[in-house]
Structure 1
Amino acid sequence: MRFLIISHTHHEITANGLSAYAPYIKEMNLWLNHVESVEVMAPKTNKKLSLSLKYDRKDIVFTPVPSIALTSVFEVLKTILVFPQLFFKIVNAMRRADHIHLRCPGNMGLIGCIAQIFFPKKRKTAKYAGNWDPNAKQPWSYRLQKYILSSEKLTKNMSAIIYGEWPQRSKNCKTFFTASYSEHQRTEIKQRKYDLPLRFMFVGALVAGKRPLYALKLVHELLKNEIPAELSFYGSGPQSVKLQHYVRKNQLEKFIYLYGNQDFRTLKQAYKKSHFLILSSKSEGWPKVVAEAMWWGVLPVVTRISCLPWMLAEGARGILIQNNLKNDVKRLKKELDNKNALRTKSHKAQLWSRKYTLELFEAEIKKLI
């Protein structure tokens, strides 16, 4: 089987092989365990990638394409100019392939969605890593990709894997998941006592879309209400300057810690000692940090977006917030008053997350191929 991957993820050619963003590569290596030959069609970068990893296979055919965007007038004009050649290149690659795999949402995914319409008999999969909520406010290109993938008239022989359970879902769409841990990592976790200070954590890029400053303000309000708490940030990004300024301005140096990007082992230890994970994002697909936190019994405090209400069973496995500081503090204080309920939620979160192992993930991927 010749397996074609069409992705917007930037790839780097190194002496050790073809590399790209590590979480993406970790997943794709599992897909590639079950195919005979591979072609990757994606943008090539000459810059050194951070958090990169190489494919396990060395026999990959890499077909570089221009990086395109629709974020400015210049980028739109550039896309219009390169579109005919790019579309022709994608169609030819699809003609060579036995199985077409699209990575969505993204600009390459959008062109791939359109091109695959002309190959109704080819076996196809699409990983839609964004928010599938039909009521979410999203760019038109994202909505168009969702429409094409879910349309049984336009898209044939497709398994579009999505996050969460949604009403009026077409036969093309399959609820899926992402895994971080293996069966052998099911170590026993001691039940938390929720002793003071309460230990909160934030894991991820410090960017506006993930609202790290809101997480900081939420913990600050608990401190104002004389609830001993501390918050540790694991990640880096442009919002770190605002966080540092807020900490200094409000003299929170003893309660707030910014650790920057940390490796897998450090995060594992952080999960083990923390009580709560805060993720107040504007949008998510499958937030791996939430599933990882739940694996270790950490209770998620998260926004009601994307598949998060489904992951948390509407609050039975965590705490759903509204990004309204006054209401969220009130809700959180009420939850903190009942330690037995917190322990029950933590246990349920752990049981749920530990169903989704890397072994199950690969087994489900094999069924799609």
Structure 2
Amino acid sequence: MRFLIISHVVHKINGCQVFAYGPYVKEINLWIKQVDEVVILAPQKSDLLPNPIDLAYIHPNIKIVQAPEIDALTWLSRLKLIWNLPKIFFELFIQMAKADHIHLRCPGNMGLLGCLTQIFFSKKAKTAKYAGNWDPSSPQPLTYRWQRNILSNQFLTKNMKVLVYGDWGIGNKNLLSFFTASYTVNEIEETPLRTLDFPLIFIFVGSLHHGKNPMLSCLATAELVAKRIDCQLHLYGEGPERISIQNFIDQRDLKANIFLHGNVEGPILKKAYKASHFLLFASDSEGWPKAVAEAMFWGCVPITTSVSCVPQMLGNGERGELIDKDPVLMASTIEALLNNPTIYFQKASNAMKWSREFTIEKFEREIQKLLKE
């Protein structure tokens, strides 16, 4: 089988290996285990070296077809996009015609162009992973709404399974409620529930970007410190908010309470989850947030915003806490659980039990079913 992946993720070549964003590659490696040949149509930068969060594809027969990075944020970038569009569509048509199975990664700019092009290949086997928020009632960028509308339209999009996070009760044969996974069955181990002793350990995992709101976690930690509650926040990830967070730490004299760790490898992150009492994660929008599922896997109770399928993941509060984007509310939620440790332990236990149902082995079995259809 010739398996075509269309993605906006930037790929890096280092020697004979192809690298990209680690969580994405970890999943893709499960898809391509089942196929003979892999073609990836995506942006490529040969001058960039992999960073600690990147992983290499594992496949003996893999080819990268370079596509330009697409954005339309400035007039210059829009002109470049108009110039490049005919070439991109031509390459999409050529590669889709050669493919046995077309796999789109959405939402994204390349995903949108792939959505449009796949309309002309109604007889090809196709899957699309929609990694964003599918909730029809949520505010979405226009290009995201276009992708959702095309993928769910059973007249335009045929022979397609669209993997979406959450169960939205939509009777559409194109859509398949799905999940993602980070850990194997062999990684499941007896994990004692944390006692609520001090210092309380909080963790934030994700890009340090305004959409993820890492500063809100910092503000909540500062609220608790001001109340003389001994606590620490450990942030894992990189992004443009790092400078403002570091300034906040310096200005508030929180060097003993808030720590920036940057991007780290999986084993280090796993150890951090196991040592943490709470995940503080107040993102604006998510699909299936891995940070939430991973924290739950290790009995770390998530305190998070009610976006996308997160309420379903948390059992509407049975496996964690759903809050608005308010650092004072986040801090008071932690205080309430400190005063009710029995509730905390029950939520931690429920979270661990639920998350451990979604292993890599289960994920791989579901992928195998899709590729055989």
What TM-score do the two structures reach when normalised by structure 1? 0.95
- Overall identity of the aligned pairs, in %: 46
Provide the rounded CA distance (Å) in 2 between the counterparts of 1:52 and 1:259. Answer: 16
1:113 aligns with 2:115: yes
Deviates more, 1:344-353 or 1:171-180: 171-180
Contact persistence 2:204–2:235 (CA under 8 A): yes
Contact persistence 2:303–2:330 (CA under 8 A): no
Contact persistence 2:131–2:288 (CA under 8 A): yes
**1:7 — aligned with what?**
7
Coordinate RMSD, CA, aligned: 1.6
Contact persistence 2:216–2:326 (CA under 8 A): no
| Structure 2, unpaired ranges of 5+ | none
How far is 1:58 from its partner? 3.0
Provide the rounded CA distance (Å) in 2 between the counterparts of 1:280 and 1:358. Answer: 26
**1:42 — aligned with what?**
42
Deviating beyond 6 angstroms after TM superposition, the runs of 4 or more aligned structure 1 residues are none
1:273 aligns with 2:275: yes
**2:323 — aligned with what?**
321
How far is 1:22 from its partner? 2.1
Deviates more, 1:121-130 or 1:74-83: 74-83
**1:258 — aligned with what?**
260
Task: State the SS of the aligned residue for 1:210.
Answer: coil
Task: State the SS of the aligned residue for 2:8.
Answer: coil
1:208 aligns with 2:210: yes
How far is 1:95 from its partner? 1.1
Q: Which of 116, 124, 127 does residue 125 from structure 1 map onto?
A: 127
How far is 1:15 from its partner? 1.8
How far is 1:325 from its partner? 3.2
- The superposition leaves residues 119-169 of structure 1 with CA deviations (integer Å, 9 ceiling, x where unpaired) of 111110001111111122221111100111111111111110011111435
Contact persistence 1:16–1:54 (CA under 8 A): no
Task: State the SS of the aligned residue for 1:153.
Answer: coil
How far is 1:236 from its partner? 2.5
How far is 1:285 from its partner? 1.7
1:353 aligns with 2:350: no
**1:71 — aligned with what?**
73
How far is 1:299 from its partner? 0.2
Task: State the SS of the aligned residue for 1:20.
Answer: strand
318 and 120 in structure 1: CA distance in 2 versus 1, 3 angstrom threshold = same
Which residues in structure 2 correspond to 1:24-103 (within 5 Å)? 24-48=24-48, 49-50=50-51, 51-103=53-105
Provide the rounded CA distance (Å) in 1 between the counterparts of 2:295 and 2:220. Answer: 19
Provide the rounded CA distance (Å) in 1 between the counterparts of 2:64 and 2:240. Answer: 33
How far is 1:223 from its partner? 2.5
242 and 179 in structure 1: CA distance in 2 versus 1, 3 angstrom threshold = same
The one-letter code sitting in structure 2 at the alignment partner of 1:308 is V
257 and 52 in structure 1: CA distance in 2 versus 1, 3 angstrom threshold = closer
**1:195 — aligned with what?**
197
47 and 131 in structure 1: CA distance in 2 versus 1, 3 angstrom threshold = farther
Provide the rounded CA distance (Å) in 2 between the counterparts of 1:326 and 1:15. Answer: 49
44 and 152 in structure 1: CA distance in 2 versus 1, 3 angstrom threshold = same
How far is 1:301 from its partner? 0.7
Q: Which of 224, 227, 234 does residue 225 from structure 1 map onto?
A: 227
